[in-house]
Amino acid sequence: MKYYILAGEASGDLHGANLMKALLKEDPEAEIRFWGGDLMEAVGGSLVVHYKERAFMGFSEVITNLKKILGFISFCKKDIAQFNPDVLIFIDNSGFNLRIAKWAKQHNFTTNYYISPQVWASRAGRVKSIKRDIDAMFVILPFEKEFYKKYDYEVHFVGHPLIDGIENRKQIDEQTFREEYNLGYKRIIALLPGSRKQEITKMLSVMLSLVDDFPDYQFVLAGAPSQSFDFYKPFIAEKNIPFIPNKTYDLLSISYAALVASGTATLETALFKVPQVVCYKGSAVSYQIAKRIITLEYISLVNLIMDKKVVTELIQNDFTRKNLKKELEFILDEKHREEIFLNYFDLEKKLGGRGASEKTAKFIVEGLKNNA
């Protein structure tokens, strides 16, 4: 059968790659065409557009690049029509994917969605179009099934794919890793300032300003796969700290604490049992718009899943050097860390165990066979 997968950003590329592997196990003759990244391309199939070409963040940047985005949408529709897949599989990236889904349903394509748009965070009215345009939805957060149930839309909870990604990764030898990147012997504080240039620019300098205040710790910057080394050069020179690109899991596996940009990385950090401070700062315009449409009490996945404050969130004006230093001191204090660890273990239980990609692939392939 023919599968057309639409993923955006580094996390979508990771989950898309694992889903493709699972689909090929279920359907060895699968023909896959996709929008994604290097990880998906390594599995096989045909890459149409790399996610780096359409990484726009925030309302203001989307408006600025609207012509380019509309061009991608038009091209995508033509490419789908030419490929004529048995199923379209959307992965997160709702701004782009829901527009394609509406068109696809009108043209009688089978539509599946893996990793739900965050309609529970803002604009819940989108559920109406999701029910209309998506034949099957596979969700990865435990509260999403109940959320959709309120709208009389049955979805499949498959568990979170990060659990598989973390458990299946190749283990590293800490001493060898430290020697390779000249990390020394101090306890490590990992800096994960996001994957987009805008968020890195707004947050990394504040994170780096703490280096001299914690001389007994080694700060290490994790490089995102979406950014080149040249982009990070000025930041690294600022405090001359180690830089490790594209090995965030390896770094987290030996870290003592972390300063993390809001997003999937907060959940990854929690699954590695690393105490963290969650950070977010966007443009003033984007933040004011977001504040008016997002109805959640928390922004980090850790707190959302646990439905309580497990990790501190420093958002926009609260993200200051003074506040960040105070919260970092808090999570480095032994008397506070035990409670964080206990909450992290509860979080992992709520995520539903292993096999998210395999469960999703089985649902997709069985659905196609049943409708054949």
> What is the percent of the chain with per-residue pLDDT over 90, rounded to a whole number?
71
pLDDT of 62 over the 80 cut:
no
Computed over every residue of the chain, the mean pLDDT equals: 90
Radius of gyration of the chain (CA): 21
Mean pLDDT of 126-141: 96
DSSP for 291-303, please give it: HHHB--S--SHHH
Chain-centroid distance of CA 139 in Å reads 14
Distance in angstroms (rounded) separating the CA atoms of residues 84 and 67: 26
Least confident piece of the model among 168-177, 219-228, 293-302: 293-302
> What is the percent of the chain with per-residue pLDDT over 70, rounded to a whole number?
92
Distance in angstroms (rounded) separating the CA atoms of residues 27 and 31: 9
Task: Give every CB contact of residue 226 below 8 A, 6+ residues apart in sequence.
Answer: 9, 10, 51, 52, 55, 195, 196
pLDDT tens profile 98-110: 999 999 999 999 9
Distance in angstroms (rounded) separating the CA atoms of residues 241 and 235: 9
Regarding predicted confidence, which is higher, 317 or 133?
133
Q: How confident is the model at residue 115 (pLDDT cuts 50, 70, 90)?
A: very high
Domains of the chain, first to last:
2-159+355-370 (3.40.50.2000), 167-350 (3.40.50.2000)
Q: DSSP assignment, residue 170?
A: P
Regarding predicted confidence, which is higher, 288 or 11?
11
Mean pLDDT of 284-295: 49
Q: Which residue has the tokens 């969130």?
A: 313
Distance in angstroms (rounded) separating the CA atoms of residues 325 and 141: 31
pTM of the predicted model as reported, rounded to 2 decimal places: 0.80
Q: DSSP assignment, residue 296?
A: -
Of 166, 140, 159, the residue nearest 252 (C-alpha): 166
